[in-house]
Structure 1
Amino acid sequence: MLSPSTLSLLVVAAVFVSVFAAFAYYQSAAADAPRLYRYGLTPRWTTVASVLALAAAAVVAAVRLDTLALDRRTVAVLALWTLLLVASANGVAGAAGFVRRWRAFHPASAVPTGAVSPGPVAVSGTATDEAVARAPVTGRDACCFVWRVTVEDPYVGTEMGETGDFREVAAGQGGSTFALDDGSGPVRIDPAGARLDLAGERTVELPAGDALPRPHTDAISDVEFDHGDSVRRYTERVAGPGDSLAVAGEAVRRDGRVLVTDVIVTTGSLSLAAERYRARALLYGVAGLGGVLVALWGLLVTV
């Protein structure tokens, strides 16, 4: 039978976890999509993983409340193991995300681009120049692109002539509906809201005071306005005409033509994409599960 103090702590912990769940979801939903996607995460899954980890830590602390010495050292150790548990749980969530991508890109799901019909689909082929956008950093022709900006922090790491650390201040993506063709006929791909995992990375570093040549997006204009007096490092990855791409998504019929929407776009063939996501799932899964076990051991034994 739990003591009244333990029950009270569990109630307080439940309220805290509920508030944290709402905060974590809205924070992750507002985060730049490319940043989450790099780690196999979505706002929903990073929230679920973080909340479950916090709930587990709260339960362990509540059960052991009568034996805990709530001094500064104990609180610090408890916080350390809890942070490891949250990070590791997100690693497991990322592994699950990569497993879903691996299944979506499995070659057994492949359909010729000229034979796509409405429904879930995975295709690969060469991007054509039927329609292209302009990459905002380098000005390259692009079917779709993803970019991020880091800015030098002059207050970190500047002793003895060292340059400052860089922190990310903005990220984004874009593109234009393009055609993909494997030789059997083209199919149109809509990159709006896509999850992009592209090669073709280029980096442009601008000294303080130098402006990035136009044209570029409004978001980059805001970065230039806010951080033009700092060193900026723009990183951009592009998929352009002539590139080999693999795409998984939902095919729909619009205006009498098939369009693939809600897509994941990655560089290379379906088999290469599947192998890449399987390897990431294994790496994140092993690291995440190992971290979860170590964190739980720490909470149960060392606190």
Structure 2
Amino acid sequence: MSHTPDFDPARALALARDTLGIEADAIVAMSERLDERFAGAVQRVLQSPGRVVVMGMGKSGHVGRKIAATLASTGTPAMFVHPAEASHGDLGMITVGDVVLGISNSGESEELTVLLPLIKRMGVPLVALTGRSDSTLGRHADVVLDASVSKEACPHNLAPTASTTAQLALGDALAMALLDARGFRADDFARSHPGGALGRKLLTHVSDVMRSGTDVPRVAPEAELMVLMREISAKGLGMTAVTADDGRVLGIFTDGDLRRLIERAGDGGDLRTLTARDVMHASPHTVREGALAVEAAGLMEASRITSLLVVDDGGLLVGALNSNDLMRAKVI
């Protein structure tokens, strides 16, 4: 193992800043070079009924895997095929209707270039993402995306750094252009990420997390105050709905309302004569059972409340939920 010199924190910080600056400059320069060829690549993919088959060796292969994953999660079916494995049978994964996205900074990766005549013979469009448009890969491609960089961030100008960053950024740009062209929405993204936080927020509905049936606190408008207090305590939601005989929501009464009522009454008031109709808040905030749970969370936050009554399309009470229900569902 080679001798490790004394660590210089200032030099490490300076090299880190140089690296970020070089890579940022490479992306800006690439952005300024973008032309109609990029739009042509987007159009090729949109016109193809199959998948985008991404191929690349070494560091370009690692970038290619990420690009394929980004495409697949944003509405463009895609997969990564290793060029070396393609020469030993995996080329059969490419079918008519697909588009091949070949990634190579030099454009001369032997494992990739040896496949190009076969890909062309299949009639599969080839999009090259390369640092050399005049390379073997560039000459065989139907569309060339220029990912060239003036220098690597590596102090020796050897390790792929700025070039792989440029490839990754250009792949993201391609994915975003395709996303927009396909009209891919946030809920589409959530459906391909059901296990993630966004999936939970955009796929969880109020009906999935609300209390229902006998778990929903409710009283009639003629109910005495003691009945309201018992219902609030029994159901554990810190409130109760006040409903008409047909289930329409007339009002709501919370434990906070109860505390304020007692404070106002003082020692001289007789609260036993009060009914639910006397103390309820009429026309309370409600949410539809088919609404997204994240909408309920937003309404709670905007209104500074912790509980909501849930109604159906006819305005009848069907459920209730509070912020704890939303937290358990990891919506908030």
TM-score range, shorter chain: under 0.3
TM-score by length of 1: 0.23
Q: Could you say which structure has the greater relative contact order, defined with CA pairs below 8 angstroms and 6 or more residues apart?
A: 1
Which has more strand, going by share of residues? 1
Higher-Rg member (1/2): 2
